């Protein structure tokens, strides 16, 4: 059967289906410990947090590890034009064409701008970027992003940083069902149980940041998420059993008597 399927994005294999964000930690040391403990192989970093001219930037030094794919994100940009410019800066500075595209013109809820995100994805793919767009849990938008050449889609479970869990569950379900590219649930995952739930539904991976960063013990919380993501994935691949009872013993067969 289909157990232990590796996650593949743009031809690269990942052993871990947990992606980690690097904001909100109280020190770069703690962040590094959490990264290592989580077993993640994909770490996103806001390019606005990094001193792009300084090769020895402290935060970056704590993120860079062999086997970890650095995923610069454009957090802070407000439209496609800014995103394309920022992406080119990031490619130069980080030496990678992988990009987490984030466009949120709204500073309160940091909700992704669907129109600009699609525009920027089209453009960036043409420029040779491997684009992982953060987006609304909008199944039609996700198909458009896929057609534009996005390497994954990263729909939100709930607004960033809210730890509210999978508020968009029914839409995520449709996105997962329809997608030809990996679906990474991003934003809103506030507890390991949320991550497990997303993975049980068939999400390809989860991106977690706030829940780990603001935990009393980020390193331990990273381990908890690692286990939750693995458990959820294994359950998905093993074929989840009965969730609802759609059937009961039937004494008579009124609908199918005509076939007897």
C-alpha distances (whole Å) from 137 to each of 90, 175, 177, 221, 234 are 26, 8, 13, 26, 24
Single out the residue of 162, 231, 220, 160 nearest to residue 195, CA to CA.
Answer: 231
Distance CA 59, CA 152 (A): 26
Dihedral-angle region of residue 156 (phi above 0 means left; psi in -120 to 50 means alpha; beta otherwise): beta
Q: Which of 100, 126, 167, 226 is catalytic?
A: 100
Closest separation in Å from C-beta 101 to another protein:
22
Residue nearer to another protein on the CB measure, 95 or 241:
241
Q: Tell me if 245 contacts another protein by CB under 8 A.
A: yes
Closest separation in Å from C-beta 183 to another protein:
12
Q: Tell me if 242 contacts another protein by CB under 8 A.
A: yes
Among 114, 173, 193, 235, binds another protein (CB under 8 A): 173
C-alpha distances (whole Å) from 15 to each of 1, 42, 190, 197 are 19, 10, 23, 19
Among 143, 167, 169, 227, binds another protein (CB under 8 A): 143
Residue nearer to another protein on the CB measure, 216 or 258:
258
> Quick one: how far is CA 42 from the chain centroid?
10
Torsion angle of the four alpha carbons 100, 104, 108, 109, in this order, in degrees rounded to the nearest 10: -60
> Between vectors from CA 159 to CA 154 and to CA 165, what angle results, nearest 5°?
85
Residue nearer to another protein on the CB measure, 103 or 181:
181
Mask for 178-197, x = binds another protein (CB under 8 A):
xxx-----------------
Closest separation in Å from C-beta 38 to another protein:
30
> How many residues can be counted in the chain?
260
Q: Tell me if 169 contacts another protein by CB under 8 A.
A: no
Q: Tell me if 3 contacts another protein by CB under 8 A.
A: no
Residue nearer to another protein on the CB measure, 4 or 180:
180
Among 55, 56, 107, 255, binds another protein (CB under 8 A): 255
Confirm whether 167 is a catalytic residue.
no
Backbone angles phi, psi at 202, to 5 degrees: 110, 10
Q: Tell me if 239 contacts another protein by CB under 8 A.
A: yes
Single out the residue of 207, 206, 102, 199 nearest to residue 150, CA to CA.
Answer: 102
Closest separation in Å from C-beta 53 to another protein:
44
Contact residues: another protein, CB under 8 A: 143, 173, 177-180, 239-247, 250, 252-256, 258-260
Which residues are the active-site residues?
Answer: 100
């Amino acid at each position: 059967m289909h157990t232990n399927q590796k996650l593949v994005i743009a031809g690269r294999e990942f052993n871990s289906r947990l992606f980690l964000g690097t904001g909100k930690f109280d020190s770069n040391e703690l962040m590094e410990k959490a990264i290592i403990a989580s077993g993640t192989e994909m770490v996103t970093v806001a390019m606005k947090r990094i001193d792009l001219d300084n090769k020895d930037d402290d935060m970056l030094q704590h993120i860079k590890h062999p086997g970890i794919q650095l995923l610069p994100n454009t957090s802070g940009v407000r439209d496609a034009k800014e995103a394309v410019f920022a992406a080119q800066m990031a490619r130069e500075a980080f030496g990678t064409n992988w990009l987490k595209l984030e466009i949120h013109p709204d500073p309160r809820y940091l909700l992704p701008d669907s129109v600009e995100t699609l525009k920027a994805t089209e453009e960036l793919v043409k420029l040779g970027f491997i684009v992982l767009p953060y987006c609304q849990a909008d199944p039609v938008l996700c198909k458009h992003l896929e057609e534009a050449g996005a390497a994954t889609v990263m729909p939100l479970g709930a607004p960033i940083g809210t730890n509210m869990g999978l508020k968009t569950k029914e839409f995520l379900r449709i996105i997962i069902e329809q997608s030809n590219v990996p679906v990474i649930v991003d934003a809103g995952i506030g507890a390991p149980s949320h991550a497990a739930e997303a993975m049980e539904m068939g999400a390809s991976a989860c991106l977690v940041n706030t829940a780990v960063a603001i935990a009393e013990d980020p390193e331990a919380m990273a381990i908890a998420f690692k286990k939750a993501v693995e458990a959820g994935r294994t359950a998905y691949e093993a074929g989840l059993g009965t969730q609802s009872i759609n059937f009961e013993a039937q004494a008579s067969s009124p609908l199918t008597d005509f076939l007897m």
